[in-house]
A = this chain, B = another copy of it.
Amino acid sequence: MSELPGEFALIARHFRPLAAPEALGLGDDAAFLTPPPGHELVLSADAMVEGVHFLPADPPELVARKLLRVNLSDLAAKGAAPLGYLLTLAAPRATPDAWFAAFAAGLAADQARYGIGLFGGDTTSTPGPITLSLTILGTVASGKAVHRTGARAGYGIWVSGTIGDAALGLAALQGRLADPTGALAARYHLPEPRLGLVRADLVAACLDVSDGLVQDLGHLCRAGGVNNGGVGAEIEAALVPRSAAARAAGPAWLATCLTGGDDYEVLMAVPPEHEPAFAGLSTTVPRTRIGRFVPGAAAVRVRDEAGGVMMLDHGGWSHF
């Protein structure tokens, strides 16, 4: 019994240094947590599979940081602040130790950046691709969470950052698009969770753009229209903020920007009386008004520069 088998050594070497105080050195099969008084806990989970959500050649540091960030993005959309996470990792037995070391280094870098720690998890072998699952925990002042359901006709549709870079980055990594500066691929690899932007006193509804702008806007419409006569959305393609790199790709890629996933910007419904305050918030995160919610069916209309309605092949991305 003096030799620890491989699983325990792997955890001790790569993951114990990441443990939050609440995880008791990952030695207890569980973490123990008391949320601060007057706060509720916010929980979310996302999985990433090699070959589906990331490419086998992607640097493990970036895979780790993307996994954390897509989950942090869910907290950002709720107006929550992050506390920590649990991670389960299934990897082939032949996965080199260097992969785990680089993966853990990526986690460590973003733990420091976001002030969070590892609460626990599990490692196992798999005959299949590397499969990662992360449960994120955050807190929000009680009653101050922002939900999907608050969009109403007349509210402004706002989005953070720029839209479409991640989908174009994937195209670039697949050799379908030039990416001379690497900016597009960088956005695909490393989203920027918009923590701190979404405030319940100004934003009535929010989600993060993970399945494509148009599809996710449809989610806000459906959630907002329940018991409410229905809520649709009208946006103008020309107003959707695109980076210099995305604009350089040319008009043929506009539809990809509008329907591609993985941007992890926040999409918000802002009541008209709060729009000036929201626009004036003191933050470096860009915010752009791209349209408004309208009465009626939960449809998303995208107008082109001539005022016509664009036909889009599909609203967004489904992982199943």
Contacts and interface: CB of A to CB of B under 8 A. Distances in A.
Nearest to A41: B33
B86 A135 contact: yes
Contacts of A229: none
Contacts of A10: 320
- The dominant DSSP class at the A interface is mixed
A45 B87 contact: yes
Copies of this chain held together in the complex: 2
A260 interface: no
B29 A148 contact: yes
Contact of A44 (B7, B44, B120): B120
A31 interface: yes
A1 B315 contact: yes
A279 interface: no
A169 B147 CA distance: 47
A309 interface: no
Contacts of A122: 45-47, 133
A174 interface: no
A318 B52 contact: no
A47 B133 CA distance: 9
A283 interface: no
Q: Which 7 A-B pairs have the closest CB atoms?
A: A128-B128, A5-B318, A133-B133, A7-B320, A47-B88, A135-B135, A1-B218
